[in-house]
Structure 1
Amino acid sequence: MSTPLDILVSVFGYHAFRSQQAAIIDHVVGGGDALVIMPTGGGKSLCYQVPALVRGGVGVVVSPLIALMDDQVAALRELGVAAAALHSGLPAGEAAAIERELLAGRLKVVYMAPERLVGERTLELLSRVPLALIAIDEAHCVSQWGHDFRPEYLGLGVLGERFPGVPRLALTATADGPTQRDIVSRLRLADAALFTASFDRPNIRYHIRQGEGLREQLLAFLDAHHRTDSGIVYCPTRRRVEETAEWLARHGRPSLIYHAGLPADTRTANQRRFLREDGLTMVATVAFGMGIDKPDVRFVAHLGLPKNIEGYYQETGRAGRDGLPANAWLGYSLADVVGTRQLLAASDAPEERRRVEQAKFSALLGLAESTGCRRQALLAYFGEQLPAPCGNCDNCLDPPATFDATEAAQLALSCVYRTGQRFGVGYLIEVLRGGDDPRIASLGHDRLALFGRGQERSAAQWRSLFRQLAARGLVSVDIDGHGGLRLTDAARPVLRGEQRLHLREENGTRERRRRKGGATPVLASAEQALFEALRAERRRLADAHGVPAYVIFHDATLAQMAAERPRTLAELAQINGVGAAKLERYGAEFLAVIARAE
């Protein structure tokens, strides 16, 4: 029997396991169940693909999306692995043919959606074939505490009873304590070993921007760092998705849209285009992205706030899966803070769940408003300590200025209180700056002692201050839909002078001072020219085979080819990502490109 390392080298073209892959694979090959928490891009798929090829029988993989299943099957077939997907998008004849292949023992890996797998007909079918393992990908979907709950995952707990002795793996990139316990309980994995890899993605550079003009800020960032790269822009609403995609397209960035309100065939077509073509920007709600297996996404941006750190981490983790540099950019305003607070407060979820969601959103705001290392704060949320600042986030590269905001905050909080705790930020700023809003005189607010006392600060600076007060929980937002601010108990020590308050000073110059953050392979000019030639050959072969370009080779593999310039098939076989099947199928073409560059 081949060993896991034999399979890793001969099939996948890698020469060593990463992180805990070897331990996980050995455990599963030995018949053990496992809960695997490993960041996106950390190599989760190898944790079930390698054991499926080592053990006898077929590996069954639960996957939530048809497009993802099809692309993973295409990738395995390019590696010479007999793989297939059974899903609702198949013609009846093709599904029947796959079932015959399965019964005949000619498949090593088969992908299924959760609802299909737990159907009685499928369970009976699988009972007639030897199973190597059952892998449940995106396992956080089973938990109502997770950020992507899917009811169809709830039926998967039956698999342990129906297939005793078959090792089961539950895999996810993010799961806090309650979500982990939910996964174990609902999937009946009480005896599963827990494997938790580091959550750190050192190749991702985190950038967070606050304030106004966020689309313009994002465009400037993309033009500076990602002019021709593939990436994702997340927006909180369908309307903002469509408006942002149209706006980006008008400014020269080819963009697609994806949200739940689109026809299913449009969503599928746009997802396939994004996976298969280079240089596209997908503008989407969070309906897009679960399990997206495109390794060369060079940036993920958020125009608006996610609801929790788990979602933010999962979404930003779709950048740089190949290990090359990538950027995660987040821009938000006070309106985003207010809007999300209102949505969470108005939720009809049980009180306990509302409290949990509010706490998670507060943790996200803490990360967003932090003046320290973003990576340290992000990892600390998942219980992991980074001993020193990372040097690869905006706050490390360009530390923000802070100021003693105690007096300004006292003035702002007093304005909230003196005007009756029922007005939004715009009106409060008018009062502080001595504006001429007709409501001010009619309500007598021009006779307040604080009227006009805030003229030395601009409206933008006051918005920043109110945003930070909301983020720190000193003010809350009414849920009546008008966005009125109220003081919280946390405001009292500040108002009484018992607590000093230091906040971020935003003067609009930070982006201009920022050092440039590249997100492409760092190559010499001659190597870069060869890298582009190799990418062109990859595109030609991908088009000919009808698969995404990354299925042929990842960017990281091409970059290593460009740097090392192998001259023989034996030398090419030493490049990471060049397995036996791909060496035989494509080796001569890529060696020819390298030879022409000599």
Structure 2
Amino acid sequence: MQIKKSLIDNLQTFFGFDNFKGDQEAIITSILNKEDTFVIMPTGGGKSICYQLPALMSEGTALVISPLIALMKNQVDQLRAFGGYDSIAHFLNSSLTKTETTRVKEDVTSGKTKLLYVAPESLIKQENIDFLQSITVSFVAVDEAHCISEWGHDFRPEYRKIRQVINNIRENIPVIALTATATPKVQNDIQKNLQMLNANVFKSSFNRSNLYYEVRPKADDILKDIIRYIKNNTGKSGIVYCLSRKKVEEVANALEINGIRSLPYHAGLDPKVRAETQDKFLMEEVDVIVATIAFGMGIDKPDVRYVIHHDVPKSMEGYYQETGRAGRDGGEGNCLAYYSEKDVDKLAKFMKDKPVAEREIGTQILKEVIDYSESAVCRRKQILHYFGENFNEAGCSDMCDNCRAQKQYFQAEEYLTRVLNMVKDFGEKFDDHHLMNVLMGIETAQVHSYKHQQTVYFGSGKQDGVMLWKSLIRQAVLNNFLSKDVDNFGLLKLTKSGKSYLTSPYSLRFILNREMKAAETEDTGNKQGGGALDTQLLQMLKDLRKKIAKQKNLPPFVIFQDPSLEEMCTHYPITMDELKHISGVGNGKAMKFGSAFLELINKYVEENEIDRPVDFVVKTTANKSALKVSIIQNIDRQISLEDIASAKGISFEDLLKEVESIVSSGTKLNIAYYIDEIIDEDRQDEVFDYFKSAEVDSIDMALDELGTDDYNREEIQLMRIKFLSELGN
């Protein structure tokens, strides 16, 4: 009772809290009793207090091993604020000068410092080991302990040397290891490596009930979607994660020029800039940080309201930890991820040159992300299952997009029995990919080597389709009929429940996966703006185009092409600036033909009380159009088109697309110097006369009319560019 009172008194004195959360009190008692302690607690659960409070209450200095300088700085600043004097906590890392390092060591030696934060790279330096041997180390806290495991999402080789260093400092130093993300496999790896298999283990639920999970298919206009999302959450703090530094810079720049206070954060920036960026975010001088995964580990900003993944996360651990930075105060937290097969292919390519074992691990980790993204099952159930926790989706309370969506079910009994029998008959030696190949009748080398094309299962699921079998196998694992052996390339094994089901099957329904289509990214929040095509307005715009074309004696497509008119009918531009941002319009066409169209749209919007999507215009940066500027300059200098394509590292076909885009947007380009070299004058006149009388600018229709014997596709495309440039711009 006395110890308990002392703990609560100290909690109140140091941190101002009256009560402990969850297992905090038991964890602190364990480390004060000098027992090895392993803590698995989700982000926002209060891990830091688990080692900070016992450090403040113990004799000597607690050594805290932490992977990031940003994380150390943040925690040291907080401790100094709580403790009332600067020497209570220090960090020792490469960012310090020689004088600063000396000061830190003096404070530690004198007994003023209760917590010393060290990066693993600094810890293994001999001079630091010598210093730590000379002081009283109360215990060692290994924060972000998942960095120890190759199966973890932030593997750091230096972390695997921590135990060796601890043994060199002194015998029997108690260790507390802490992580927010650890699968059973990673947990075991951490305990083995730190030689703490007998540790007291405290595992909290991974469920964060306040977080809303959503996955959207990634379309070409993802930036527009992100900007719209952020503007709908104006004044709230958010983080946007990207996989590459280049993408971080590009997205941050786009947000900034669209009026969103944002900054980039990645390892390529100067440490001083990174520290300033972090402080600005904490002080709410910026609303959004666009970052690689280098940002956010241990950053104590409780009111991050949304976390957006611009790219597919590399792992479920990474995804869970990054989304865990939202709503740490228990308030609103939205987690939006964009998924595309292209991103998955990119990540798979990154693994190509890695050693075989590492590649196999990486493939298994990535496969979990793909399954999560493509599945129609409760997102929360999938996340928790990944971390070894069973969850009834009814408890999700519609806090994920899959639970809110209309579901399509199928009777699973016969299909499940077939798959369970397959796993059993095949000796539990294959993964889901192999089972799918057999069911779909795909003759791979592996299928042949095991003669599975001769089994009754081969091709038996073809008529049911890939989607059903993907859904079936995923849910068989989620509902514990099958288990995935992550130690052994994801091989599927029958569980006790699976064996029992084969003996006594019963009726059950599974959810059929939904096909992810880019159209789903449309903002359905607006009744009309930014959603469905307004066919009434489209007809009015086409009539106006026809009228102007007749007046100017031009084919209608020279004024504006159909895709441009269609975009006007979803976005309703009413200013010249908005019109310029419609694809295929640009400055030239907007100035030449735009006024009449703007007048019509404005009148239509007023008369029909249209709720316009005011934030649809995504302004682009100047460097985005650098290629186009360079192409225009080279054409002005009459450089051969082949040479321009070669110099820019693009195909001739892609160059023509760029040139067409420039001309379609209203810029005049003179490519006659090039055309005159390859098409004689009479043939040029013939194509020109054709386009003058054509209703549409289709190359296929032009070839049908003019004959493929006399012209090829490239020649017609070049002439169409010349025609549009001379008559339309």
TM-score category by the smaller chain? 0.5 to 0.7
> In 1, distance between residues paired with 2:399 and 2:299?
24
1:17-32 to structure 2, matched below 5 A, reads 17-32=20-35
Secondary structure (helix, strand or coil) at the match of 2:366 reads: helix
Cα deviation digits, residues 6-65 of structure 1 (max 9, x gap)? 111221111211111111111111010112111111111011011112222221111222
Aligned match for 1:495, one of 462, 465, 474? 462
Aligned match for 2:224, one of 211, 216, 222? 216
Q: Using the TM superposition, give the Cα deviation of residue 395 of structure 1 relative to its aligned residue in structure 2, in angstroms.
A: 2.7
> In 1, distance between residues paired with 2:12 and 2:41?
22
> In 1, distance between residues paired with 2:64 and 2:273?
26
2:313 corresponds to: 306
2:8 corresponds to: 5
> In 2, distance between residues paired with 1:116 and 1:182?
23
The answer to whether 1:48 aligns with 2:70 is: no
> In 1, distance between residues paired with 2:404 and 2:150?
39
Select the structure with the greater relative contact order (CA < 8 A; seq sep ≥ 6): 1
The answer to whether 1:39 aligns with 2:45 is: no
Contact 2:280–2:286 (CA<8 Å) still a contact in 1? no
2:710 corresponds to: none
The answer to whether 1:90 aligns with 2:90 is: no
Secondary structure (helix, strand or coil) at the match of 1:216 reads: helix
Contact 2:145–2:190 (CA<8 Å) still a contact in 1? yes
Cα deviation digits, residues 393-431 of structure 1 (max 9, x gap)? 333562145499xxxxxxxxxxxxxxxxxxxxxxxxxxx
Secondary structure (helix, strand or coil) at the match of 1:181 reads: helix
2:292 corresponds to: 285
Aligned match for 1:329, one of 292, 316, 336? 336
Structure 1 498/396 Cα, relative in aligned 2: closer, same or farther at 3 Å? closer
The answer to whether 1:253 aligns with 2:220 is: no
Structure 1 37/278 Cα, relative in aligned 2: closer, same or farther at 3 Å? farther
1:465 corresponds to: none
> In 2, distance between residues paired with 1:291 and 1:49?
14
Gaps of 5+ in 1: 405-468, 476-487, 516-598
Structure 1 110/263 Cα, relative in aligned 2: closer, same or farther at 3 Å? closer
> In 2, distance between residues paired with 1:143 and 1:300?
25
Amino acid of the structure 2 residue aligned with 1:138 = E
> In 2, distance between residues paired with 1:69 and 1:78?
14
Contact 1:295–1:319 (CA<8 Å) still a contact in 2? yes
1:150 corresponds to: 156
Contact 1:397–1:514 (CA<8 Å) still a contact in 2? no
> In 2, distance between residues paired with 1:234 and 1:207?
15
Contact 2:163–2:195 (CA<8 Å) still a contact in 1? yes
> In 2, distance between residues paired with 1:38 and 1:492?
45
Contact 2:120–2:162 (CA<8 Å) still a contact in 1? yes
1:368 corresponds to: 373
> In 2, distance between residues paired with 1:163 and 1:321?
37
Amino acid of the structure 2 residue aligned with 1:249 = E
> In 2, distance between residues paired with 1:90 and 1:498?
60
> In 2, distance between residues paired with 1:304 and 1:221?
16
Q: Using the TM superposition, give the Cα deviation of residue 326 of structure 1 relative to its aligned residue in structure 2, in angstroms.
A: 1.1
> In 1, distance between residues paired with 2:287 and 2:244?
20
Q: Using the TM superposition, give the Cα deviation of residue 275 of structure 1 relative to its aligned residue in structure 2, in angstroms.
A: 3.4
1:70 corresponds to: 73
> In 2, distance between residues paired with 1:231 and 1:205?
14
Contact 1:84–1:107 (CA<8 Å) still a contact in 2? yes
TM-score by length of 2: 0.55
Contact 2:467–2:513 (CA<8 Å) still a contact in 1? no
Contact 1:400–1:504 (CA<8 Å) still a contact in 2? no
> In 1, distance between residues paired with 2:212 and 2:42?
15
Gaps of 5+ in 2: 411-432, 441-451, 469-511, 527-729
Secondary structure (helix, strand or coil) at the match of 2:47 reads: coil
> In 1, distance between residues paired with 2:212 and 2:35?
36
> In 2, distance between residues paired with 1:53 and 1:497?
63
Contact 1:401–1:506 (CA<8 Å) still a contact in 2? no
The answer to whether 1:393 aligns with 2:399 is: yes
Q: Using the TM superposition, give the Cα deviation of residue 360 of structure 1 relative to its aligned residue in structure 2, in angstroms.
A: 2.2
Secondary structure (helix, strand or coil) at the match of 1:3 reads: helix
1:382 corresponds to: 387
Contact 2:256–2:262 (CA<8 Å) still a contact in 1? yes
The answer to whether 1:233 aligns with 2:236 is: no
2:324 corresponds to: 317
Contact 2:239–2:304 (CA<8 Å) still a contact in 1? yes
2:187 corresponds to: 180
The answer to whether 1:133 aligns with 2:143 is: no
1:170 corresponds to: 177
Q: Using the TM superposition, give the Cα deviation of residue 384 of structure 1 relative to its aligned residue in structure 2, in angstroms.
A: 0.8
Q: Using the TM superposition, give the Cα deviation of residue 280 of structure 1 relative to its aligned residue in structure 2, in angstroms.
A: 2.5
> In 2, distance between residues paired with 1:91 and 1:237?
30
Which structure's residues are more often helix, by fraction?
2
Cα deviation digits, residues 88-111 of structure 1 (max 9, x gap)? 222322221221121111122221
Contact 1:235–1:241 (CA<8 Å) still a contact in 2? yes
RMSD of Structure 2 on Structure 1 (CA): 3.0
Structure 1 307/7 Cα, relative in aligned 2: closer, same or farther at 3 Å? same
Secondary structure (helix, strand or coil) at the match of 2:83 reads: coil
Cα deviation digits, residues 157-199 of structure 1 (max 9, x gap)? 1204532232111111112233222222322223322221111
The answer to whether 1:504 aligns with 2:509 is: no
1:197 corresponds to: 204
Q: Using the TM superposition, give the Cα deviation of residue 221 of structure 1 relative to its aligned residue in structure 2, in angstroms.
A: 2.1
Cα deviation digits, residues 69-96 of structure 1 (max 9, x gap)? 1221111111126222222222322221
> In 2, distance between residues paired with 1:141 and 1:500?
35
Amino acid of the structure 1 residue aligned with 2:242 = C
TM-score by length of 1: 0.67
Structure 1 394/512 Cα, relative in aligned 2: closer, same or farther at 3 Å? farther
> In 2, distance between residues paired with 1:115 and 1:342?
29
Q: Using the TM superposition, give the Cα deviation of residue 379 of structure 1 relative to its aligned residue in structure 2, in angstroms.
A: 0.5
Cα deviation digits, residues 541-584 of structure 1 (max 9, x gap)? xxxxxxxxxxxxxxxxxxxxxxxxxxxxxxxxxxxxxxxxxxxx
> In 2, distance between residues paired with 1:386 and 1:221?
30
Structure with bigger gyration radius? 2
Cα deviation digits, residues 221-259 of structure 1 (max 9, x gap)? 2222x2112221111222222221111112211221123
Structure 1 106/266 Cα, relative in aligned 2: closer, same or farther at 3 Å? closer
Structure 1 396/38 Cα, relative in aligned 2: closer, same or farther at 3 Å? same
> In 2, distance between residues paired with 1:176 and 1:505?
29
Structure 1 120/339 Cα, relative in aligned 2: closer, same or farther at 3 Å? closer
Identity, in percent, stands at 39
Contact 1:401–1:505 (CA<8 Å) still a contact in 2? no
The number of residue pairs the alignment matches comes to 435
> In 2, distance between residues paired with 1:173 and 1:316?
11
Contact 1:402–1:505 (CA<8 Å) still a contact in 2? no
Amino acid of the structure 1 residue aligned with 2:462 = L
1:339-350 to structure 2, matched below 5 A, reads 339-344=346-351, 346-350=352-356
> In 2, distance between residues paired with 1:105 and 1:42?
30
Secondary structure (helix, strand or coil) at the match of 2:240 reads: strand
Of 111-120 and 6-15, the range deviating more from structure 2: 111-120
Cα deviation digits, residues 451-497 of structure 1 (max 9, x gap)? xxxxxxxxxxxxxxxxxx9xx9999xxxxxxxxxxxx9999444345
Q: Using the TM superposition, give the Cα deviation of residue 514 of structure 1 relative to its aligned residue in structure 2, in angstroms.
A: 6.5
Amino acid of the structure 1 residue aligned with 2:134 = R
> In 1, distance between residues paired with 2:182 and 2:402?
27
Contact 2:216–2:521 (CA<8 Å) still a contact in 1? no
